[in-house]
Amino acid sequence: MNLLDNLKIDKLIQKEGEQPSKLTPEQIESIKPVIEECLEKGKFTLQMENLDSTDSPFTITVPEFMRRMKEMSATGGGGFMGMDNMPEMYNLIVNTNHDLVSKIMDEKDEAAKKMMIEDAKDLAMISQNLLHGESLTNFVERNFSKLSK
């Protein structure tokens, strides 16, 4: 079982009480616009959640409605009420208790901060087989460049 499976199970079976956050509400509100700035407008919905610190720092999910409509249009032989032309939409869940999120908050260099967010988002997309084409090529080149330094 991987970390993403644990996240899904934890969401299905709600536990008593809420997981406390390592970050204060002010810290969460200060990092949220920085992450949103790195996301494509209209493609991502950002959710800041207090998950277990061992869960993934960033997780991508597809809204159930969008997933079902795309599946129906793909198998239905043509556009189902125009759903085949709908843009991709994802939920980006940021685990406020993960050390990477704290590291992003503490990073002083804005370019490095944005690069960390972009890499974490791309890794979350890769884990769901959602990163393709130019975005995947850019991710690979960016990381080969980092390894060469």
Which one-letter DSSP state was computed for residue 35? Answer: H
Stretches where the chain sits below pLDDT 70 are 1-18, 65-67, 69-71, 73-74, 76-87
Which pLDDT value is given to residue 26? 95
Give CA–CA dist 52/83, Å, rounded.
36
Predicted local confidence at residue 75, as pLDDT: 72
The fourth-level CATH superfamily of domain 23-148 is Heat shock protein 90, C-terminal domain (1.20.120.790)
Structural domain boundaries of the chain? 23-148
pLDDT at 133: 93
Q: Please state, as a whole number, how many other Cβ atoms lie within 10 Å of the Cβ of residue 19.
A: 16
Which pLDDT belongs to residue 63?
79
- Largest Cα separation within the chain, whole Å, is 52
State the pLDDT at residue 2. 45
**Beta strand pairing call for 90-95 and 44-49:** parallel
